[in-house]
């Protein structure tokens, strides 16, 4: 492989980060792209140029890249092109749990479903070869449990692909209707050939054991089935689209009773039925959420199979429920505090700052998809139904990913909204990856950085202001001014993420217990360094600061009317 591109997103982020770690000699060109569509375009262009390429993204990223993906299935490429979709059943860290196996069927490309770390490696190697044999992009679909598993992996010899060479072939690469019609027919012919491949592929294997019980499954769920009912016969599908209908019919004829066990959509189940095998699956297993060995065992029981033996349990010590919180000193807090005070209707976006929707800030009214905040704000403003000023809040990475077209839309149509760009210089939510305004590449090299205020002006915004979010009054003032503008206004915050590149720390603060009037105004910040002290004042609890985690951002000091919050005396303190 010569080129790899992606946009961070759990559980896919580690793919490119690990690639960089394993490739210190820089034999592969690796980039964080501005968004997933750009990543897929980069990978497709590289493959057209004859270089093996990979594009990695989380499942919802494929929605962003879908425009390219659907047509790349027509063009194919010269060299292998692998698209990795890291799905997230159970929504551990996602806004939905769509099943991207359906994308393979939709686009008409082969689908590989690894079940563990070794298969993730082996299937990727095979995907390049398969893609080259059939001149087609290959979708490699993982799920959180596979993506985040660790295991010993035997690495294959790196292939020595032919020297890259771009050859002009407009009828293949220029998708004008006249050429695209031919390519659509080519895609369908290719699918018919791939169907034969799926019937014979060693990735699809029948494991005959007790013939009374047969399971059709794929991915991590294969291991769950093996764990809870090791005696069952299994048809394990690794190349599950195109569907090996004949193989499934053969398996069905070998076993007495048959169920499909799969997470999310009835993808294999419907295909089995279409192949004339009257099989059930979702009658026993939920269509929403992640499966587990326990849930598989219970589903098999529901199907009337002999109850699988109880599994040994590792008794986990009870833990207190802890909602996710913004970090101590997080610069995202004050704009939301101010927006609540200003009575704004806030359309939010996706990033750490989405936590502003939760207690105690409770300052976000909508969150949909990356970049949606600005378009949704336009719609809310145009609806005439918003009771206050309409404000979109969006992180710097998200703004560059999908916010630019919407801001140009708002500016060119003169819609009265305010956009707050929470510029912390990084993609914090996914672990601190660079982006085009961060000035750093995935390999840590310095890079030119987009000038966000200049960019907003270039998009047609006349009123742009940069504020220090650690200045509570200044932030409130700027936001007040912004929402008074007749058209689009933009406020950009300018403090770095407290975790980047190393933990930002200043002198910690402390609360003078006797001076604390227990007004609890500081508690509105939701800062994890602020906790209840043992002291009381007029029936209310006083507050204390955990000096070990306080970053010294001073925001709580600014909320404290009696002036009870002071620098911690002593070494490292200010007094
Ligand atoms: C289409 C899509 N791609 C990727 C993600 C994963 N993701 C969630 S938030 C986010 C960006 C966060 O960065 P930023 O907007 O700068 O906010 P921060 O977390 O730094 O506050 C990413 C990449 C996603 N949810 N959807």
| CATH number (domain holding residue 195) | 3.40.50.970
> How far does the centroid of ligand 1 lie from the alpha carbon of residue 313, in Å?
36
- Residue at which a domain ends, from 280, 302, 324: 302
Per-residue model confidence (pLDDT) at position 574: 47
466 and 536 assigned to the same domain:
no
Total domains, the chain: 4
CA Rg value for the chain: 27
Q: Assess if residue 483 is contained within a domain.
A: yes
434 and 360 assigned to the same domain:
yes
Contacts of 232 (CB under 8 A, 6+ apart): 209, 210, 213, 214, 215, 225
E strands present in 301-447: 345-347, 390-395, 418-422
Q: Which atom of ligand 1 is nearest to the CA of 64?
A: 1
CA distances to 56, 163, 282, 476 from 421, in Å? 26, 44, 43, 15
Q: Assess if residue 151 is contained within a domain.
A: yes
Quote the domain boundaries for residue 218: 204-302
Asked if residue 352 has its Cβ within 6 Å of ligand 1, the reply is yes
Q: Which atom of ligand 1 is nearest to the CA of 94?
A: 25
Contacts of 513 (CB under 8 A, 6+ apart): 533, 535, 542, 544
> How far does the centroid of ligand 1 lie from the alpha carbon of residue 458, in Å?
24
Q: Assess if residue 572 is contained within a domain.
A: no
> How far does the centroid of ligand 1 lie from the alpha carbon of residue 16, in Å?
16
In the chain, DSSP finds a helix count (H) and a strand count (E) of 19, 20
Asked if residue 426 has its Cβ within 6 Å of ligand 1, the reply is yes
Q: Assess if residue 81 is contained within a domain.
A: yes
> How far does the centroid of ligand 1 lie from the alpha carbon of residue 185, in Å?
38
Asked if residue 397 has its Cβ within 6 Å of ligand 1, the reply is yes
341 and 253 assigned to the same domain:
no
Q: Assess if residue 316 is contained within a domain.
A: no
Closest by CA position to 415, among listed 347, 353, 350, 465: 347
3 state DSSP class of 173: helix
> How far does the centroid of ligand 1 lie from the alpha carbon of residue 141, in Å?
20
58 and 177 assigned to the same domain:
yes
Core vs surface per residue 16-36: b (16+ CB within 10 A) or e? bbebbeeeeeeebbbbbbbbb
Q: Assess if residue 54 is contained within a domain.
A: yes
Spell out the per-residue pLDDT of the chain, length 575, in tens: 999 999 999 999 999 999 999 999 999 999 999 999 999 999 999 999 999 999 999 999 999 999 999 999 999 999 999 999 999 999 999 999 999 999 999 999 999 999 999 999 999 999 999 999 999 999 999 999 999 999 999 998 877 778 999 999 999 999 999 999 999 999 999 999 999 999 999 999 999 999 999 999 999 999 999 999 999 999 999 999 999 999 999 999 999 999 999 999 999 999 999 999 999 999 999 999 999 999 999 999 999 998 777 666 677 788 888 888 999 999 999 999 999 999 999 999 999 999 999 999 999 999 999 999 999 999 999 999 999 999 999 999 999 999 999 999 999 999 999 999 999 999 999 999 999 999 999 999 999 999 999 999 999 999 999 999 999 999 999 999 999 999 999 999 999 999 987 788 899 999 999 999 999 999 999 999 999 998 999 999 999 999 999 999 999 999 999 999 999 997 655 44
353 and 281 assigned to the same domain:
no
Closest by CA position to 17, among listed 77, 113, 95, 86: 86
46 and 141 assigned to the same domain:
yes
96 and 186 assigned to the same domain:
yes
291 and 406 assigned to the same domain:
no
481 and 365 assigned to the same domain:
yes
296 and 431 assigned to the same domain:
no
Q: Where residue 546 sits, what CATH number does that domain have?
A: 3.30.70
Closest by CA position to 574, among listed 228, 557, 176: 557
Per-residue model confidence (pLDDT) at position 575: 43
Asked if residue 424 has its Cβ within 6 Å of ligand 1, the reply is yes
40 and 147 assigned to the same domain:
yes
CA torsion angle 146 151 152 158 (round to 10): 30
Asked if residue 64 has its Cβ within 6 Å of ligand 1, the reply is yes
101 and 40 assigned to the same domain:
yes
- Residue at which a domain ends, from 151, 167, 200: 200
Asked if residue 393 has its Cβ within 6 Å of ligand 1, the reply is no
Asked if residue 350 has its Cβ within 6 Å of ligand 1, the reply is yes
Per-residue model confidence (pLDDT) at position 306: 87
pTM: 0.96
> How far does the centroid of ligand 1 lie from the alpha carbon of residue 98, in Å?
17
Per-residue model confidence (pLDDT) at position 310: 67
Q: Where residue 211 sits, what CATH number does that domain have?
A: 3.40.50.920
Pocket test for ligand 1, best of 8, 37, 64, 398 (most atoms within 8 A of CB): 398
Per-residue model confidence (pLDDT) at position 117: 98
Q: Assess if residue 551 is contained within a domain.
A: yes
Q: What are phi and psi of 275, to 5 degrees?
A: -85, 5
CA distance 64 to 55: 13
3 state DSSP class of 418: strand
Asked if residue 353 has its Cβ within 6 Å of ligand 1, the reply is yes
CA angle 35, 39, 44 (to 5 degrees): 150
Q: Assess if residue 328 is contained within a domain.
A: no
- Residue at which a domain ends, from 463, 493, 523: 493
Measured by CA distance, the residue closest to atom 5 of ligand 1 is 9
């Amino acid at each position: 492989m010569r080129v790899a591109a992606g946009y961070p997103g759990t559980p896919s982020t580690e793919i490119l980060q690990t690639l960089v770690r394993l490739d210190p000699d820089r034999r592969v060109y690796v980039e964080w792209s501005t968004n997933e569509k750009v990543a897929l375009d980069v990978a497709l262009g590289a493959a057209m140029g004859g270089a093996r390429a990979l594009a990695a993204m989380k499942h919802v990223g494929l929605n962003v890249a879908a425009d390219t993906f659907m047509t790349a299935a027509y063009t194919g490429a010269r060299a292998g092109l692998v698209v990795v979709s890291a799905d997230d059943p159970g929504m551990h860290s996602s806004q939905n749990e769509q099943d991207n196996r359906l994308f393979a069927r939709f686009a008409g490309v082969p689908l590989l479903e690894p079940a563990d770390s070794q298969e993730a490696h082996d299937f990727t190697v095979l995907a390049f070869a398969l893609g080259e044999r059939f001149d087609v992009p290959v979708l490699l679909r993982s799920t959180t449990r596979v993506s985040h598993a660790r295991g010993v992996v035997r690495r294959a010899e790196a292939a020595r692909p032919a020297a890259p060479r771009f050859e002009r072939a407009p009828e293949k690469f220029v998708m004008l209707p006249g050429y695209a019609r031919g390519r659509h027919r080519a895609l369908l012919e290719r699918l018919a050939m791939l169907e034969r491949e799926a019937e014979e592929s060693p990735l699809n294997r029948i494991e005959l054991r007790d013939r009374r019980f047969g399971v059709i499954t794929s991915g991590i769920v294969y291991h769950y089935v093996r764990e809870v009912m090791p005696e069952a016969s299994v048809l394990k599908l690794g190349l599950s689209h195109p569907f090996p209908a004949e193989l499934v019919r053969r398996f069905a004829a070998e076993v007495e009773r048959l169920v499909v066990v799969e997470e999310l959509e009835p993808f294999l189940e419907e295909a089995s039925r279409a192949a004339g095998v009257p099989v059930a699956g979702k009658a026993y297993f939920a269509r929403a959420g992640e499966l587990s060995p326990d849930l598989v065992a219970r589903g098999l029981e529901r199907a009337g199979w002999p109850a699988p033996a109880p599994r040994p349990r590792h008794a986990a010590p009870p833990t207190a429920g802890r909602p996710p919180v913004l970090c101590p000193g997080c610069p995202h807090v004050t704009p939301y505090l101010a927006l609540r005070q200003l009575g704004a209707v806030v359309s939010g976006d996706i990033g750490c700052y989405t936590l502003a929707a939760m207690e105690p800030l409770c300052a976000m009214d909508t969150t949909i998809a990356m970049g949606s905040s600005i378009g949704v704000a336009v719609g809310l403003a145009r609806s005439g139904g918003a009771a206050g000023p309409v404000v979109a809040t969006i992180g710097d990475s998200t703004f560059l990913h999908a916010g630019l077209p919407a801001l140009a839309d708002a500016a060119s149509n003169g819609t009265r909204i305010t956009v707050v760009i929470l510029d912390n210089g990084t993609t914090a939510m996914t672990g601190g990856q660079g982006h085009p305004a961060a000035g750093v590449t995935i390999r840590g090299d310095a890079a030119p950085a987009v000038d966000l205020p200049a960019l907003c002006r270039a998009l047609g915004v006349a009123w742009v202001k940069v504020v220090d979010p650690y200045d509570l009054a200044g932030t409130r003032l700027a936001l007040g001014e912004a929402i008074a503008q007749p058209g689009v206004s933009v406020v950009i915050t300018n403090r770095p993420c407290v975790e980047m590149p190393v933990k930002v720390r200043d002198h910690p603060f402390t609360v003078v217990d006797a001076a604390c009037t227990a007004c609890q105004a500081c508690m509105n910040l939701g800062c994890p360094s602020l906790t209840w002290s043992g002291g009381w004042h007029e029936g209310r609890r006083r507050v204390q600061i955990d000096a070990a985690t306080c970053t010294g951002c001073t925001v709580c000091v600014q909320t404290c009317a009696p002036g009870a919050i002071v620098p911690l005396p002593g070494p490292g303190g200010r007094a």
